[in-house]
Amino acid sequence: MNLSRRHFAALTGASTLLAAAPALAQPNRRPRVLVFHKATAYVHPSIQTGIPMLNGIGEQDGYEIVATDDAEIFTTANLAGFDAIVWLCCTTDTQFPESEWLVGTKRDAVQAFVRSGKGIVGIHAAADSHHYWPWYGQMIGGYFDRHPASPNVRPGHLRVVDRTHPSTRDLPEVIERADEWYLFRDFNPEVNLLVVADVQSVQDPGSEPLRQQWYSSQNQATTRLRLPEANPKPISWHHDFESSRVFYTAMGHVPETFSEPLVINHISGGLRWALRRERRRGRG
Amino acid sequence: MLSRVVTLLTAVLLTACASISTPAEAPRVLIFSHSTGYRHASIEEAVVALRQSSEEAGYSVEATEDPDVFSAARLANVDAIILLDNTTNRQNPETDFFSGARGEAFQAFVRRGGGVVAIHGASGGHPNWPWYRQMLGAFFERHPPGEQDGRVTIVSPDHPATRGLPTTFVRHDEWYYFIDYDPTVRVLATWDPASIGEPDVNPNPISWVHEFEGGRVFYTGMGHFAEHYREPIFKAHLAGALRWVLRLEE
């Protein structure tokens, strides 16, 4: 792979061009995207529709998609052949550090991948993973804290707050769709917010908010201060992290999610951006 | 040539008009430090320092702890309110003092374009009034016990409240965590939990601004101790914030 790329550059004299425009994808091969979906805590049925959705995006946008739940793929040599990793609902257990599969040299490989400027896309429960590896939480930009329970899947009222990004420029400003709506802990306020959920998405109108049921994977959650939510909640965002581009969306709980054109558009735009095949409007 | 002079003059006039609502009158600042919850020991000294710096900036200043100042009549002449450590007892809704007509007067003030500079314990009040939390942008959740040297990073250097400040600095304070934080506010500064040995891995918001229902709101979680109000960086932070909410500087 490296040889052919160097060969191509030498043939066309494109090395200076590539150096000058690192944001542009190399034209000589299809981007390869690793879809990783190992789950040692809750296994989302939506993984089974998320993979075909990403295959479809690959077909449409010209990527080679490799889906696996085998963590042995995380070696520096293996990852060198990929341009982006999609973390698809890849949960681990908050109570058990030993449930985490990115350990030892696998961590080194993922960090080297990120630091080499490759792309990262996190979907839904990708934020409910590796609570014991701080760097992972920095990469995503926050950790799943809780979601409304009974019912967990409920109508949501979303607002797109930035429509300059490839993941949002085709979306309407206001979106009504059902999902399981996450609230985050340790959320990085410096990420670039794309989509928020209005409070009615996480509160039952007409009922006493403090009496609503919540699910949390955090054991200390019961002792924390609870108030009726009054402010919008982050749902999708992006940031530049240690040379890589990271796009995350909390959407994606139920299998039907990944046949929604709007969600497919959102994620495919996020992936295009993470792969540096498309820029934000008027920006880098 | 003439048209250029006219344009220039117009620009100068517009700038003058935009920066001072009534050129003859100094902006009026209300320092409000009433609290019914935890009473910060720094309040008295902070009020003296805030009054002094506001007067030095050319504002006319009134300081009060009377919650009845939140009336349409008494706020009519106010351009900016400094909310200082206005805690309530979160276990007891009856300690909320922005109730009824006071709350309405506060809302009317913000909606006519008034400015709010809210400091530290101001986010620890009125948990039962969602509007207050929307206006402020968050609610105080907790702070690690005691006081620590925490690292602050300026993430929006191009704002009156941060212009000229070092990009990152260490200061002694009590460090706040928030709940119901509004991610759509413009973050000015964050603090690093790791710098005080906290387990959180991402930066925490500590100062922010937003335009809210026509008004301008600044909040900072810093400022627990009296000496902060004599600290050059924190004084510059607050003075710039006040200029921004008064629309004197963009």
pLDDT tens-digit profile of B212-241? 999 999 999 999 999 999 999 999 999 999
Integer Cα distance of B24 and B22 in angstroms = 5
Residue A117 CA, chain-centre distance (Å), reads 16
Of A189, A231, A232, the CB nearest to B190: A189
Copy the structure tokens of residue A35: 């879809």
Which among B144, B121, B154, B123 has a CA at the least distance from the CA of B228? Answer: B121
The whole-chain average pLDDT of chain A stands at 89
pLDDT band (50, 70, 90) for residue A215: confident
Integer Cα distance of B162 and B239 in angstroms = 10
**pLDDT tens digits, residue range B175-201?**
999 999 999 999 999 999 999 999 999
Token pair 């995503």: residue: A140
Check residue A221 and give its pLDDT: 54
Q: Please check the confidence at residue B31 and state whether its pLDDT lies above 70.
A: yes
Check residue A225 and give its pLDDT: 79
Which alpha helices (H) appear in chain B, and where do they start and end?
2-19, 43-56, 72-75, 101-111, 130-136, 232-245
pLDDT band (50, 70, 90) for residue A7: very low
Percent of chain A surpassing pLDDT 90:
77
A161: chain B residues, CB-CB within 8 Å: 184
Give the residue-averaged pLDDT of A23-37: 80
Q: Please check the confidence at residue A272 and state whether its pLDDT lies above 70.
A: yes
B182: chain A residues, CB-CB within 8 Å: 231-232
What ipTM was assigned to the predicted interfaces of this complex?
0.88
Chain A residues contacting B, CB < 8 Å?
134-135, 137-138, 141-142, 161, 186-190, 193, 196, 224-234
Lowest mean pLDDT among A87-96, A219-228, B97-106, B131-140: A219-228
Integer Cα distance of A218 and A212 in angstroms = 17
The whole-chain average pLDDT of chain B stands at 93
Lowest mean pLDDT among A59-73, A144-158, A206-220, B34-48: A206-220
Q: How many CB pairs under 8 A join A and B?
A: 66
Copy the structure tokens of residue A267: 């994620």
Which among B203, B201, B177 has a CA at the least distance from the CA of B192? Answer: B203
**pLDDT tens digits, residue range A41-58?**
999 999 999 999 999 999
Q: Please check the confidence at residue A10 and state whether its pLDDT lies above 80.
A: no
pLDDT band (50, 70, 90) for residue B3: low
Predicted structure pTM score? 0.89
Check residue A224 and give its pLDDT: 72
Phi-psi region of A192 (alpha: psi -120 to 50; beta: other; left: phi over 0): beta
B183: chain A residues, CB-CB within 8 Å: 187, 189, 193, 196, 231-234
pLDDT band (50, 70, 90) for residue A208: confident
